[in-house]
Structure 1
């Protein structure tokens, strides 16, 4: 009986020693891993997320309009020639005639440029956050860091302002409606002008729209609890 108790004591003692060693080794290993992660970045869990709730909410935003730009131009209608020129071209015509109010009115009558339309062309630009994919987002859960690449900016909408300002006889500043055919022709000319300048317009507004979108995404992720956010 004493022999059995001795054997049982030895077995229990060895088990406790083994358990103690296991706990010590595990604790020491965790300290080593944590130290390596902190100093060298080794072993840190950087996870490509698979659209958890907070990212899904970002994607639900969809088209984020961050910039509204307006381009304005005045067009002059020639009732005699049924043609349209810009106000800049109109001023060059008048500049070729002698100065003076009477001469200007004579030139206006001869050339037939009596009606004008002030058109405002509006662009709405931003980014489509629904295009964010798994490859665009990287998160370090331990340090609460997030890196996000937002999509390229694009123009979502473009249109003329519906309420146009019409002027007849610029010198008297009288308001009147243009003939229907004149308004149609002015719109055609304006559309062609916008198309010619589209590359320049996009180069001006798209970078601004994307930068504003990056600021929005950064602020949103910080509100969701991330301490460090990098948006590219």
Structure 2
């Protein structure tokens, strides 16, 4: 299903996006050496409930997971890159943590992810990998406008990731959002320009470049959810929800402060 939102619905999506971004930034500030992943999940729950919003994850039970997910945020550490199920783990100095959050507010969903290093240890390779996903996301957003096609966004994202030297997995990527979290169209993190669905004003898309240092292969953890790099290498993941407007794209998942 592909939804085209009305101007009023896009307005509500702005509020949802700001909430998601604010929660992620708050959690980033609290995620220090010794912080437990279960505390991060609990803090996310508290902020979602306080805002009168609904989690998109707690009851989420897709075919590829061992559902329902049962938690409020995805916490992926080091070699985990997607769908990280929170568990009893205290963050260590130098861990590379990805937080992925999707929330519904006012009947409209927004989805975003950030990756960052915990503590004060320097990690030039990890910093470069995170920066590459952020550049790829910016390139995908720059390519998004009415009349562009999904392949244009995929090509822009993939060009940046490939130039940075990272293998690209296309099993999981960006997607449409609206009244639900995961909708068509699927947006692979590489592709051919000029192909695919034509973008229209009112379309909401979650673009999410993610990479692993030396492989494009994933393995599923024993928890049935967490996806890790097949070689145990580190990973990074960055995501924004955008709205296609009459003259380009608007990033919805920016902090309100």
Q: TM-score, normalised by structure 1?
A: 0.20
Higher gyration radius (CA): 1
Higher relative contact order (CA 8 A, sep 6+): 2
Higher helix share: 1
